Amino acid sequence: MGSSVYGIPYAIALKTGSSAAVGTSFLLFFPFSFLTTAYVPKEFLSGWLKTVAEYNPVTYLLDGLRSLINVGWDYQRLWYMFFAIALVGVVSFSLAFGALIGRVQKK
């Protein structure tokens, strides 16, 4: 998930032109790590926390990595993991390229 989310700070940098905005944009990623199954298994989550964890792409990354350790090559979990990584990458870099196009066309 690492490099696929870098497009979001790039988009903020290109859109705002502010280094302070980029520095604080990394605070957006803390909820992604805490609202997952990193600390508590999905079976023990309930309510809104379970719903957020099910839609959080980091949950699928963790699930795929855990399957390699616990089960072996579970292709369904690995597919979900790679799909989540690709989806986040496409969305974040689309935002970044859109901001880049807007920045270049202004000048």
Give residue 90's pLDDT band: very low, low, confident or very high (50, 70, 90).
very high
Alpha carbon distance 58, 54 (integer Å): 9
- pLDDT grade, residue 107 (50/70/90)? low
- Tell me, what DSSP letter sits at residue 71? T
Instruction: For the beta carbon of residue 84, count every other beta carbon within 10 angstroms.
Output: 20
pLDDT of 75 above 90: yes
pLDDT of the residue at 4 = 65
What is d(CA 81, CA 61) in angstroms, rounded to the nearest whole number? 5
If you ran DSSP here, which 8-state letter would residue 2 be given? T
| pLDDT given at position 63 | 93
User: Is residue 33 pLDDT above 90, yes or no?
Assistant: no
The pLDDT of residue 1 is above 60: no
